[in-house]
Structure 1
Amino acid sequence: MSGLIIRLLLMICVERPIPKGTVKGDPFCFDKDIKFFNDRGTATSFADFYKEGHFIFEAKQGGTHNKGTARRGTKNYDLAMEGAFYQARKYAHSPFLPNKPPFVITCDIDSHFELWMSFSGNYGGYGASEVIELDRLLDEKIFDHFVAIFSDPQSLNPENYRARVTREVARTLAKLAKWLEEQGKEPQEVANFLMHSTACNLEVSIKKRQVDHSMR
């Protein structure tokens, strides 16, 4: 599994993980220790790959014959991939982690990735995943998406995007209002125009989001 990840990191030009035990708390490593409370106190499991504030990653190896986790396209394979998600989600909710990572990622090595994004820790169920085949990493948009996951996941936070767009729109509308007033337009006329423009922009934004969602 680590070989695949190293190749991926090299391809998207982001830093490699730090050897486990090198840095206190292992914020970016393979085989991350994940602690939990249980009836006897605490127990420790191991996440395949982890980066603090970024993701929890679990990998499986599907196959076409009787090798790997299970044969792709079979019920056992589906159950194994679903189990990988619930395992990773459990790790993400460990009270011993400093925060819940915004991404839960599972992977069938040599086949595809499955992504769940949540900046609130509510990743949803297994069916909420975004499936990305390995060859789709050649797509510039998908490539940039992975770069952001590994280097700047907050840039993908919808709340940050909405806040940034809102500020930009507000600045633009303020400049437009000032210009219209300088042209001798009445305040009420300016206000009506700006309200109409805002409504049109909102409608376009909603339609674009619907189109983007349908293309996933």
Structure 2
Amino acid sequence: MTDPQTTPNKAVEAFIERWQNGGGKERANYQLFLTELCQFLDLPGPEPASDDPASDSYVFEHRVDIHHPDGSSTRGYIDLYRRGHFVLEAKQVSERHESSRWDKAMLRAAAQADTYIRALPGEHGRPPFLLTCDVGRTIEVYAEFTRSGGTYVPFPDPRSHRIHLDDLRDEAIRDRIRKIWTAPDSLDPSKYAARVTRELSKTLAQLARALERDGYEVERVAHFIKRCLFTMFCEDVDLLPKGEFTALLTRLKKTPEHFPDAIRSLWETMNTGGYSGVLNQQILRFNGNLFTEINPIPLSADQIALLIDAAKHDWSQVEPAIFGTLLERALDPDDRHKLGAHYTPRAYVERLVMPTVIDPLRDEWKDVQAAAAALEAQDKHDKAVDEIRAFHRKLCEIRILDPACGSANFLYVTLEHMKRLEGEVLGTLADLGAGQNLLEMQGNTVDPHQFLGIEINPRAAAICSKSCPAPRRAGSYYASSLFTLSESRNVDARAA
């Protein structure tokens, strides 16, 4: 059966055919390419530029004045600018597509676009998206939704931030481009997470109250619910067969007496990996001791229905950082009236995490990249590799302490950003021929053992230590296993 999301249509095929063999110079082609891209996606096209750049909101060749530390300034031109949406830097790279030289050329384009963003007038603010374009071949997407001066990172992740010409056959990709052009904030995952957190908190609180009324201890309820949440997340990020856990719950609602045995069977197989009889599928092994000592709670049909309601949400868009908060709010009688209304949104977390931890590391990484490039230019390949490896070792040795960690939102977000940075470092080593496998085999990698917390609330500490998953998304640059923060007993339940 044909997938409607990737069904070719005449407009897409005509556009791809027109540009897939394109050549020539950047200045001769980029405006035409982007204009035709807008036309076939039914997007508004750029407007004529005026004599006053400050009043231009959507133009080619938007002028900016770049001020330097020595007091001098130079003039630059943004290839395509849409105020409040994006800055786009276009190139027509002559290097072999996705070769090491091509990657470096595109990274230089991204750095140039970032310089232009910093030169925009203050009243314009920072756009949420930075785009680079290899004309007729690829658009790379970077995002920084807080607009607070942080680092633009690959969007939606480092494995899928490149949109190749052939990818335009996918309606989901075309829709992503349309939203970047017309409604960029709708792509901010924190917006979805905030709404879903409120809804899920209500559902989980209702289930927790019912189970506590049935006489089950809070800790057992927490263990049970956290495993259910994690299983829902896994089926939506393709670590489990898509939709199969929800389908299992739907079947069990009709025969609730079989619920404990069926769930026990599934979780035991998730702990070991192998064939799951209840799903009739081979499934991966999930380490981290999340599925050891399994003791599922029997549920009524109405209680299973609450799990089904929760499972129907798109968990791939829910921040794993809020899992602990969901449990804490669902299980704490004093906080139940809040029902998730006061969890810390990711944007607020990043306002602290980015300038204090990630931005300094990324600034240092830029210096290391420059030093390695200079050594490569001098034919000092081994020394260039040593520069990169030394930075990677530092990244793996840093310790992060949150002295009031709650349910670990800040720790999780910091871990995620450091893993993103590590992915870039390992990618650079691979480009230099050093490879990633040796480093990972030696255990030299960023992991949850580096992230420590102190928490005065024993309930929050228990949830964080035992229930806060740090999942590695399928298809990402670090998808190989699953961790929980409890692996290294990172959270100490005491006052700072």
Same fold (TM over 0.5): yes
Partner residue of 1:48? 79
Cα deviation code 1:93-117 (max 9, x no counterpart): 2252522222111111111111112
Instruction: Quote how far apart the aligned CAs of 1:82 are.
Output: 2.4
Residue 198 of structure 1 and its aligned partner are, at CA, apart by: 5.5
Q: Give the structure 2 partner of residue 72 of structure 1.
A: 96
Is the Cα contact below 8 Å between 1:57 and 1:106 reproduced in 2? Answer: yes
Q: 2:374 aligns to what?
A: none
Name the SS for the 2:36 alignment partner: helix
Structure-2 separation of matches of 1:187 and 1:11: 59
The SS at the match of 1:161 is: helix
Gaps of 5+ in 1: 63-69
**Deviations for 1:64-90, whole angstroms, at most 9, x for unmatched residues?**
xxxxxx243566544432221110121
What is the one-letter code of the residue matched to 1:29? Answer: V
Identity across matched positions, percent: 29
Q: Do the aligned residues in 2 keep the contact of 1:58 with 1:88 (CA within 8 Å)?
A: yes
SS of residue matched to 1:166: helix
Aligned partners of 1:31 and 1:46 also within 8 Å: yes
The 5 A counterparts of 1:119-198 are 119-120=145-146, 121-124=150-153, 128=158, 130-173=161-204, 186=213, 196-197=224-225
In the alignment, which residue of structure 2 is the partner of 1:27?
Answer: 57
Which ranges in structure 2 are unaligned for 5 or more consecutive residues? Answer: 1-29, 238-315, 317-472, 480-496
Distance 2:192 2:92 in 1: 35
Contact between 2:64 and 2:120, CA under 8 Å: does it hold in 1? no
Deviates more, 1:148-157 or 1:163-172: 163-172
CA distance 1:140–1:75, shift in 2 (3 Å): closer
Structure 1 vs Structure 2 CA RMSD: 3.4
| Matching residue's letter, 2:229 | N
CA contact (8 A) 1:36 1:96 kept: no
Q: Shift of residue 162 of structure 1? A: 1.1
2:4 is the alignment partner of 1:4: no
Kept after mapping to 1: 8 A contact 2:139/2:163: yes
CA apart distance, 1:146: 1.0
Q: How many residues align?
A: 203
How far does the alpha carbon of each residue in 1:29-77 deviate from its partner, in whole angstroms, 9 at most, with x for none? 1111122222345432101011122111011113xxxxxxx24356654
CA distance change for structure 1 residues 36 and 177 in 2, over 3 Å: closer, same or farther?
same
Asked if 1:96 corresponds to 2:121, the answer is yes
Structure 1 residue 137: Cα displacement: 1.2
Counterpart CA distance in 1 for 2:119 and 2:169 is 34
Helix, strand or coil for the counterpart of 1:211?
A: coil
- Equivalent AA in structure 1 for residue 163 of structure 2: I
Tell whether the 8 Å contact from 1:116 to 1:128 is kept in structure 2 after alignment.
no
CA separation in 2, counterparts of 1:189 and 1:76?
Answer: 60
Aligned to 2:474: 211
- The Cα of 1:205 is off from its aligned counterpart by 2.0
- Asked if 2 retains the 8 angstrom alpha-carbon contact of 1:177 and 1:190, the reply is no
Letter in 2 for 1:138: R
Which residue does 1:118 correspond to in 2?
Answer: 144
More deviation, 35-44/159-168: 35-44
Distance 1:29 1:95, change over 3 A: closer
The answer to whether the 8 A contact 2:208-2:221 is kept is no
The TM-score normalised by the length of structure 2 is 0.36
Aligned to 2:112: 87
The 1:186–1:80 alpha-carbon spacing in structure 2 relative to 1, beyond 3 Å, is closer
Q: 1:51 to 1:187 in 2, by over 3 A?
A: farther
Structure 1, 115-124 or 81-90: larger mean CA deviation? 115-124
Which structure's residues are more often helix, by fraction?
2
Q: Which has the higher strand share?
A: 1
TM-score normalised by L of structure 1? 0.76
Letter in 2 for 1:186: R
Structure 2: which amino acid aligns with 1:72?
Answer: R
**Cα deviation per residue 1:176-204 (whole Å; 9 max; x = unaligned)?**
679x59xxx82765977688446522443
State the alpha-carbon separation in 1 of the partners of residues 38 and 215 from structure 2. Answer: 55
